[in-house]
Structure formats: C-alpha cells, structure tokens
C-alpha cells in the first residue's frame, strides 16, 4: 500500500566518524521508532505520519558480512584482524562482505517506504541512480553491472570495477543499512577480503579514478541532493 497522505519529508542526520556498532545501534533505534508508529496507527482513525531519516557517516575500519554472504570471503583470521586494527561484524543486511573505513561515505536511509513506494527492486535502483548522478557531477561516468547491485565503472567491459557497494534490509516496509561510496579511502584494505564475494572484479574510488583527493563534504551534499530528487523527497 501507499499512504493516502504520505510523508516525504526526510531528516538528515550527520554522524561523521563513528564505529559500525554504534551506527547499527542507532539505526535500530530509529527503525523501531518508525515500526512502533506504524503498529500504533493500525488502531487509529487518524494515523500519525511516520518519519524518515537519512544518516551520513564514515566508519572506523571494519569488515561486515551480509546474511547471504560467505565467511570464506574474509581472508584474515581473528588474530590478523586484531593485528590490523580492523573489526568484523556479521549483519542482518543483504549482500556479502565489504569494507568500511575512513574516507568512504556511508549513507543509511531509514525510510518508511510506504511513504514513497513499496518495491524493493525500485528502491535499490533508485539508490544506485542517486550515486550514478553524483559521480557524473564529479566527472566520473558510472553505471550498473548486470546481475549485481551497486555502482560500477566500465561496467560494459572486462575492466569493470566497483565504486559503490550496497546492502539493505527491509521489514514492514521500513529500510535499514544502505550504501558505501569509495571516495578517498585506503583501497588496500580490500585485499583482505573477496569484496562482495566477487573474485574477478576490482574495487576503485573517486580518488583513484580522478587522480586526486576529493572534497568529501561536497560529495555528501551532492549525494543528498540527488537522493532527494530521485525519491521525490524534501529535507526537513
């Protein structure tokens, strides 16, 4: 269903550098808030509008494994993880293993999709589109790679390389988790995993593609702008 009077207002929350555990806990809190309102609305003649949130942050170094991923794609032992100063979490999002680290932009939409549309495939494609439009503004031609989620460079040939990973969870039409866009992060940390479980494709960043350090805040603002455009949302 779609609400008769949907709330397309979205509140941006900037968390800057935060541990993955703290961000996950914060997401869970917002998720439960939205779900609780939806449950209470079942018995109300005039239901309350459900809120929507968009979290931007960076994470301290961490590998996260989605519920459909394989632990074999983590190439370090627990002792080696500790030696490198990298955390590891199994998560309840979709997708396989990926890296989060400083210099990578994380965007977590906590949306009641009934305010927008009830179509997970469209939700994923819209997230990709916001990233593609953002990269285009910075002079990077990006697109989709058939059969895979995320955003890619040279997706139509053997040099295909991933610049943005995605992994989401949706329950009661409320979304969690989101995307990780490589901007200025250390790509060597991907050497310790099989990124997204894809063995024969490289990972890249905006910095590598453009040969210079990128203004992180400018990318954040641009991605927020295109998110609002693609989702027909308004920031509040």
**Beta carbons of 64 and 100 less than 8 angstroms apart:** yes
Q: Cα torsion for 175, 181, 185, 191, to the nearest 10°? A: 80
Q: At what angle are helices 216-231 and 120-137 packed, to 10 degrees?
A: 140
Q: Is 164 a catalytic residue?
A: no
- Which tokens in the block code for residue 125? 């494609």
Signed CA dihedral, 171, 172, 174, 179: sign only: positive
- Catalytic positions: 196
């Amino acid at each position: 269903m779609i609400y008769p009077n949907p709330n397309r207002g979205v509140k941006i929350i900037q968390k800057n550098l935060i541990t993955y555990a703290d961000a996950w806990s914060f997401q869970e809190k917002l998720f439960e808030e939205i779900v609780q309102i939806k449950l209470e609305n079942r018995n109300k003649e005039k239901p309350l509008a459900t809120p929507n949130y968009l979290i931007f942050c960076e994470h301290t170094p961490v590998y996260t494994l989605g519920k459909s991923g394989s632990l074999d794609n983590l190439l370090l032992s627990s002792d080696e993880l500790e030696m490198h100063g990298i955390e590891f979490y199994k998560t309840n999002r979709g997708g396989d293993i990926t890296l989060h680290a400083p210099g990578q932009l994380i965007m977590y939409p906590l949306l009641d999709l009934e305010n927008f549309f009830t179509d997970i495939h469209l939700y994923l494609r819209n997230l990709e589109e916001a990233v593609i439009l953002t990269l285009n503004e910075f002079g990077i031609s990006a697109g989709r790679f058939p059969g895979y989620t995320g955003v890619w460079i040279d997706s139509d040939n053997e040099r295909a390389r991933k610049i943005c990973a995605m992994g989401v969870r949706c329950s009661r039409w409320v979304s969690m988790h989101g995307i990780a866009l490589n901007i200025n992060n250390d790509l060597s940390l991907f050497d310790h995993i099989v990124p997204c479980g894809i063995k024969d494709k490289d990972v890249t960043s905006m910095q590598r593609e453009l040969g210079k350090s990128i203004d992180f805040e400018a990318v954040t603002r641009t991605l927020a702008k295109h998110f609002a455009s693609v989702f027909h949302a308004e920031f509040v």
